[in-house]
Amino acid sequence: MTEKAPIVTALIQGKDTKGIIATITSWIFDNGGNIVYLDQHTDPVEDMFFMRIRWDMDGFQVAREELDEEFGKVCWRLGMAHRLFFSDRRKRLAIMVSKQGHCLLDILYRWRSGQLEIDIPCIISNHEDLRDMAGYYNIPYHYLTVDKTSKPEQEAKVLEIFREMKVDTIILARYMQILTAKFVHAYRNSIINIHHSFLPAFVGANPYLQAFKRGVKIIGATSHYVTEELDQGPIIYQDVVTVTHRDNVETLKRKGQDIERVVLARAVSMHVENRVLIHNGKTVIFGG
């Protein structure tokens, strides 16, 4: 049985200029490619062009091992940066978690059911609470304690594990630790976090209690890439759910956890499907 040729996805960005789409699509056509998806966005304020294009490699005249270089020549002439991804190469996502398991369980279920086409080589935690959950899904669970004095040593161990496991993306599924700048730099634009949001000014301990006391009418969640500046990274996905005066602190927490699960899963899906471009701290999210 002949192995099916992969689909290649190209993400392209740079200063807007004439002929970008025509040049790239013509090059793909001239080399025997069948385009299966194309979307583009132009930012007139910053004069930037963004594009996501996918084509079938079946019968394509440029060899896979030469594709990045040859396609790069076309993009270079246009002043564009590019990245290529192949459909037969799954991303390897490590999950970091503390004690709360709702986001972890949701990601594991979506992975096991085939909704997320990824590999999960390991789970890292600073607590033992969720080891059984990892064991149920037969995923290695690494328990590494951490405090203010041991954080550099702990993060060095984590990074060593990630290198050995060839991890390319990290999910912070309610990992209640602030990562150091060195750690963030090692996985630039590849660490995805989830946190409660749309709770105006309710920071620190017991945000849902603060929200309840203020009588908020919406609660929500934000998933974003992690940067050195706490919770200020490029936003991937956000959503909200309405609440009323009939809600109490516990129902607010349950609704908050529900929306956190959905928002994180959608953000991870967008990243895994190579639908995200970043420019100046903002994201451009293309359709599926």
Q: Cα(268)–Cα(120) distance, rounded to whole angstroms?
A: 13
How far the first Cα of the chain sits from its last, in Å, is 29
C-alpha count within 13 angstroms, C-beta hemisphere, residue 85: 17
* Residue 287 DSSP class: -
How far apart CA 255 and CA 249 sit, in angstroms, is: 10
Euclidean distance between CA atoms 77 and 225, whole angstroms: 30
Helix then strand then coil, in percent of the chain rounded to 5, is 35, 30, 35
- The first and second tokens of residue 201, run together, are 């000014």
| Secondary structure (3-state) at 216 | coil
Instruction: Specify whether 231 is catalytic.
Output: yes
Choosing from 47, 58, 132, 231, the catalytic residue is: 231
Tell me how far apart the alpha carbons of residues 178 and 191 are, in angstroms, rounded to a whole number: 12
φ, ψ for residue 69, nearest 5 deg: -70, -45
CA distances for 252 relative to 52, 173, 195, angstroms: 38, 19, 14
Q: Which residue type sits at 7?
A: I
Name the β-bridge partners of 284: 277
Give the span between the Cα atoms of 60 and 35, in whole angstroms.
11
Which residues does the annotation mark as catalytic? Answer: 231
